[in-house]
Amino acid sequence: MNELLIMADPRLMAERAAWLQSLASERRLSAHTLDAYERDTRQFLTFMTGHLAGPTTLKDIEALRPADFRAFLAARRRDDIGARSLGRNLAGLRSLLRHLEKKGLVNAAGAAAIRSPKQPKSLPKPLSDTQAINVVSDEAQLHDEPWIAARDAAVMTLLYGCGLRISEALDLLPGDLRSGATSLRITGKGNKTRLVPLLSVVFDAVEKYRALCPYHLAADQPLFRGARGGKLQQAIIQRTMQKMRSAFGLPETATPHALRHSFATHLLAGGGDLRTIQELLGHASLSTTQVYTGVDSARLLEVYDRAHPRA
């Protein structure tokens, strides 16, 4: 574990080794997480050697102030370390200090007073047009039972064709998709209701499933059913997509929710405006839609140049 590189008091190093062992044996953390925590604490103790101009002792750890932790995080930032890694650095240190505190060796108040670095919002990764169209097609469905294959295709088509959350699709009742309807009323987060256009390809996919489904689809019961007739669970669709990733060489980011991302991103790429996409997705804030679709300043300037009268 590269402990020869760390200038620290032998007792502190012994306690650190005991902490790492407890993470492996008692908490059963993965080897990847253990390696990260070992590296994080090694980097901190190496920093402290320079910060204190000498080997770190338990007494030094006891005397740590918030300013010491901020100095460490600042040094890591100068090495171009991102907020996510800094947050993990701090989590590893806090875990070690809690271990030492439980044994009555230090007080961990200094680390507790430090806020974790603000994490950047991770941008969703949509599928390409070709990948999304393939995923929702009848031919791509992997289940041998025709009605289940049709069901999976209908659910995937609702996610990509209407931008629904998977929970919204699985909460639909048979009466929500009436013959001849051109829109779909969805009750989403916060009990907010929105209307989304119902494309004929979406309606046709649902109708094919209805025609093949062996269960009676009562008006007050879920539209989409599991193999035994109960309400279809999200985990089933997630596992279906997992199999499709393997079968068609799709990236790990290809999830059912990625189809909703794809709906928004492809609309934007086709000239749709953010405000309309916000309404279709049921987002309360336009900034959420902007992050969701991965809009950047170059895209906004392009729209500005094309649309503004003085551009």
Residues of the chain with CATH 1.10.150: 3-112
Mean pLDDT calculated for residue range 216-222 = 93
- As a whole number of angstroms, the distance between CA 209 and CA 212 comes to 5
Angle at 303 between CA 263 and CA 299, to 5 degrees: 65
CATH number for the segment(s) 3-112:
1.10.150
SS3 306: helix
Contact present, 257 and 167 (Cβ < 8 Å)? no
Residues of the chain with CATH 1.10.443.10: 129-307
pTM for the model: 0.59
- As a whole number of angstroms, the distance between CA 124 and CA 219 comes to 35
Amino acid letter at 242?
Answer: Q
**pLDDT tens digits for 135-191?**
999 999 999 999 999 999 999 999 999 999 999 999 999 999 888 888 889 988 878
**pLDDT tens digits for 37-55?**
898 888 888 888 888 888 8
- As a whole number of angstroms, the distance between CA 163 and CA 63 comes to 54
In the CATH scheme, what is the homologous superfamily, with its name and number, of domain 129-307? Intergrase catalytic core (1.10.443.10)
Q: What is the pLDDT of residue 201?
A: 93
Residues involved in catalysis? 165, 189, 257, 260, 283, 292
Q: When comparing pLDDT for 266 and 117, which is higher? A: 266
